[in-house]
Structure 1
Amino acid sequence: MPDYTVEVTYHLPVYRQRSYSADTPAQACRLAIEDDGWGDAREDADSSGESHVTGIWEGADAAYSGQEIPVPSHFAETVQRKAGHFDMLLDALRILSADARAKRIPSPEVQAKAAWAIVRGEAILAGARDPDDPMRLPPATFTLAVLDEDRVRRRIATLLATDRRFQSLTPQSVHDADIQAAFAAVTADADLSRQVTYHEFQAAYAALTAASQRISQS
Structure 2
Amino acid sequence: MAMARDFRVVLCTLLLVLGACHVTPAAAAGVRLSALSKTLVVEASPRAGQVLHAGEDTITVTWSLNTTAAAAAGADAGYKSVKLTLCYAPASQVGRGWRKAHDELSNDKACQHTIAERPYAAAGDGTFVYGVARDVPTASYYVRAYALDASGTQVAYGETAPEEYSFAVAGISGVTAPVRVAAGVLSACSVAALAVFLVLENRKKNK
TM range (shorter): under 0.3
Greater strand proportion: 2
Greater helix proportion: 1
